[in-house]
Amino acid sequence: MTTVLFVCTGNTCRSPMAECLFNALCRQHQADARAISAGIYTENGLPASGGAIRAMERRGLHLEDHRSSVIIPELLSQADVIMGVSKRHVDLIRSLYPDIKAQCRYFDPEIPDPYQGSDALYEYTATQMEPQIAALFHLLTTNA
């Protein structure tokens, strides 16, 4: 099974939405892949932000049970691909964990942080992620 680790800052907005969207594609296509997520500067156990939950609800997806995770070597070791929401996140992971084996990628264009923004901003964020997540899904599942 291919595992993608989506990484952002707090693991309450962007990376949980990316995880949710990627896993929805996996279910839809019965793919042997999955997503997990973590944050670089967070604490364990925080819920997803309300805006992220509502953006996923508008897509028929559920994020209510999400709880944040701090990025740790055990999570990194599970990942085949580490997908940062920005190049800065990937650069920081590489500097903190120079021995990681996973392929590192980042969203391009990068995904701005909607934290504490309006529902419209969260919706914009999800809309910006969707084609990039679909492209990553296609790349990973057609080359598997």
Domain ranges for the chain, please list them. 2-142
The set of long-range contacts for 122-128, using a CB threshold of 8 Å and a minimum separation of 24, is 122/13, 122/17, 122/49, 122/51, 122/52, 122/54, 122/55, 123/55, 123/58, 125/13, 125/14, 125/17, 125/55, 126/17, 126/21, 126/55, 126/56, 126/59
Q: What is the mean pLDDT of the chain?
A: 97
Please give the share of the chain, as a percent, with pLDDT higher than 90.
Answer: 98
Q: Which fold has domain 2-142?
A: Rossmann fold (3.40.50)
What's this model's pTM, rounded to 2 decimal places?
Answer: 0.97
Find the mean pLDDT for residues 28-48.
97
pLDDT tens-digit series, residues 56-68: 999 999 999 999 9
